Amino acid sequence: MKVLITGASGQLGGALQRLAPAWAELNAIDSNDCDFTDVSMLRARLTVEAPDVILNAAAYTAVDKAEGAEDLARAINADAIEAMVAAMAETGGKLVHVSTDFVFDGTATRPYRPDDTRNPLSAYGRTKAEGEDHLRPEDLLVRTAWVYEAGGANFVRTMIRLMNEREELGVVADQVGAPTWATGLARTLWALVEKGATGTFHHCDDGAISWYEFAVAIAEEAHALGLVARIPAIRPITTAEYPTPATRPAYSLLDCSATRALLGESPVPWRDNLRLMLKEEAQLA
């Protein structure tokens, strides 16, 4: 099976390449290989490549910057998806697209199911929702949240850097969700492709925490591995105390039960995966 990975240099793109199964005839591209804002170029490239499956890990993910660059975010998060779908319709391929918890407004009182009504609060969320709307019934959509990977640009590594620089940190405690280790997400994506899954699924690690609780766990686990010399004081703050250009959902937990049922897998606690990622990070240090 010919599989094309987009966003090859990103956290998820790298994990997808490392975990590619033997049956995948793999090719991977990123923005250095193809301008994702040029839909004509992108569609032509994909038509020539003619993969059986596109695993789309490319996205504009600068949530706050998107508030002032919504057209650019839309070009990558929505218009490029439309071009991918058009190319796959022409060649008979399938698009596997990764989206986000930010398509929801955070007002729910239970984890968001795949078919729940979307109501994005930010430019990033809006453009990702628009990208979802271009998918066909035969395509596969997987939403995720709070993605991190060893060596990547993410919350975990930012916290480690700040913890080594400061004696005290304030971290938002009134936004609740679940982290996602990119390695685990990549495994799920490959498993769903192998199953021939279509429609919408969710994947996150198991549990429900705030960014503050995540930061406390990062401090404890990173200190145990010698990645943090000393644990600083970590203070819970409100979203109002840390204003950002983009509005974020206060509650964005995703219901992953359908994904786990299809794959026959047990949920993996978020802290277990955090510990595995930090062990990899320690090896890179």
What would the pLDDT profile of 215-256 be if each residue is shown by its tens digit?
999 999 999 999 999 999 999 999 999 999 999 999 999 999
* pLDDT tens string 79-111: 999 999 999 999 999 999 999 999 999 999 999
User: Choosing from 60, 112, 124, 148, which is the catalytic residue?
Assistant: 124
Task: Please give the pLDDT value at position 229.
Answer: 92
242 is catalytic: no
Task: Please give the pLDDT value at position 35.
Answer: 84
Mean pLDDT of the chain: 95
Q: Which two structure tokens, joined as six digits, stand for 35?
A: 């301008």
13 pLDDT exceeds 90? yes
pTM of the complete model: 0.94
* pLDDT tens string 128-168: 999 999 999 999 999 999 999 999 899 999 999 999 999 99
**What span, in angstroms and rounded, lies between the C-alpha atoms of 17 and 205?**
20
Q: What are the backbone angles phi and psi of residue 59, rounded to the nearest 5°? A: -165, 155
Question: Tell me: domain 2-154+178-207+252-270, CATH 3.40.50.720, correct?
Answer: yes
